């Protein structure tokens, strides 16, 4: 929105195109960081599930090997 309006408001504001570029870059970085943080718990949960399944398979294989 600001980028489209910049030509019309350029003499009426202290905002420059360089500052707008910098703000856009920072906004992209923030959105990426937030997105990664929101996905973090899902990754941790999936890792825990895989670990639990691997342990269950280990116990099952151990019990079968130990059985007569």
List the chain pLDDT tens, one digit each, 68 residues: 777 887 888 788 888 889 888 888 998 888 888 877 666 666 677 888 888 999 898 888 877 776 55
Q: Where are the domains of the chain?
A: 2-66
Give me the pLDDT at residue 60, please: 84
Distance separating alpha carbons of residues 37 and 12, to the nearest angstrom: 38
- CB-based contact 20:6 (threshold 8 Å): yes
Tell me the C-alpha distance between 19 and 10, whole Å. 12
Q: Give the position of tokens 């600001």.
A: 2
Closest CA to 4 of 25, 28, 20: 20
């Amino acid at each position: 929105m600001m980028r489209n309006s910049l030509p019309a408001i350029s003499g009426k504001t202290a905002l420059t195109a360089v500052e707008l570029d910098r703000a856009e870059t920072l906004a992209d970085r923030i959105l990426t960081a937030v997105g990664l943080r929101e996905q973090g718990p899902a990754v941790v949960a999936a890792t825990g599930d895989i670990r639990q399944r691997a342990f269950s398979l280990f116990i099952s294989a151990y019990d079968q090997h130990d059985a007569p």
